[in-house]
Amino acid sequence: MTAKEEKKTSMRREIMEWIIVIEIAIILAVILNKFIIVNAVIPSASMETTIMTGDRIFGFRLSYLNEDPQRGDIVIFKFPDDEKQLFIKRIIGLPGETLEIRDGKIYIDGSSEPLDEPYLNVVPTGDYGPITIPEGAYFMMGDNRNNSADSRFWNQPFVYRNKILGKAVFRYFPNMGKIE
């Protein structure tokens, strides 16, 4: 084999190696996106100041594999009124609970004490309910309560468990960090 032929063979081998690496990367990205993470871009101010408009978020699809969603979790889900849209909100009401909002404060199952919500940076207003959350469903609200189109305003106010895609866990743009 001549030096020219060896160089040509070497170049083909290198190109094939790069093609294989790129194919593997694409397959891994598809698997990761389909089964492990859900990617979301925040389009509105409904979750400010916890999550800001324009933030890019990773949700972990496996978060609820062995446990149920909990009150206070921020989740990415299919919007009940149009499942082609992804929404991100905080779980406020759990399955089977009766929820009522009086003067912006949330009361669960007739409690005399309002729900403790340390993540709120606004003084919420308004009344809603009482409403009983069906089994297998959740009541969602934004942290920016006075500027949030959430369960209070949807035609179908509940998000069912099978429509929750993942728990928001990490902001990767413009700032990186854990979401709480």
CA distance 57 to 66: 22
- What the block records as the tokens of 16 is 């094939």
CA distance 62 to 146: 32
Q: Is 105 a catalytic residue?
A: no
Q: Which of 10, 46, 78, 178 is catalytic?
A: 46
Are 61 and 38 within 8 A, CB to CB?
yes
Q: Is 89 a catalytic residue?
A: yes
CA distance 75 to 152: 17
- What the block records as the tokens of 62 is 């496996």
Are 105 and 115 within 8 A, CB to CB?
yes
Are 145 and 127 within 8 A, CB to CB?
no
Q: Which of 34, 63, 89, 112 is catalytic?
A: 89
Are 95 and 139 within 8 A, CB to CB?
no
Q: Which residues are catalytic?
A: 46, 89
